[in-house]
Amino acid sequence: MIRVQTQDFDVGAELEQLAAGNHQVGGIASFIGLVRDIAPPGSGASSSMTLEHYPGMTEKRLAEIEAEAHRRWPLVSSLIIHRYGRLAPGDRIVLVATASSHREAALESCAFLIDWLKTEAPFWKLEEGPKGAHWVEAKTSDDARKTAWKK
């Protein structure tokens, strides 16, 4: 399931829901991405992050990435929640969770989903800190992690 939203989510409730009533699930893996504070610790300064996205294409790409995970691993269910809008340090940005009969499929597919999401889903982060606002640059290490999943 894919959800792109401004509001926060309850990790416990979402993970509970992923396996609810399905006793084929033997394990759930999850990744939660949080907003890091870019202001120096103890500086008293504050920072924030604004996430922009491409409505329509975001949901389409996420659904394609999720379908690819289901092709590669025997998953019972999966969930991707990604927030957009203005967020503060410590806020949750993203939840990726996968449920399978066995742990390898759950753990591997969860890592696959977040690696692919980072290079494929049309989101952009604007960081605002004590030195002003700047767009976060894409990392080549993220591209390398995505490429490593190619087969």
**Residues binding another protein: number (CB under 8 A):** 27
Find the shortest distance in angstroms from Cβ 49 to another protein: 10
In 3D space, the residue among 83, 21, 16 whose CA is nearest the CA of residue 49 turns out to be: 83
DSSP string of 117-137, one letter each residue? HHHHS-EEEEEEETTEEEEPP
- Check: CB of residue 84 under 8 Å from CB of residue 123: yes
**Minimum distance from CB of 133 to another protein (Å)?**
10
* Subset of 45-104 contacting another protein (CB under 8 A): 51-54, 56-57, 60-61, 82, 93-94
Measured from the CB atom, the residue of 75 and 81 that comes closer to another protein is: 81
Instruction: Please state, in angstroms and rounded to a whole number, the distance separating the CA atoms of residues 1 and 80.
Output: 6
Tokens 């890592």 correspond to 111
Q: Nearest approach, Cβ of 93 to another protein (angstroms)? A: 7
Q: Closest distance between another protein and the C-beta of residue 137, in Å?
A: 7
Q: Which of 132, 137 has the CB closer to another protein?
A: 137
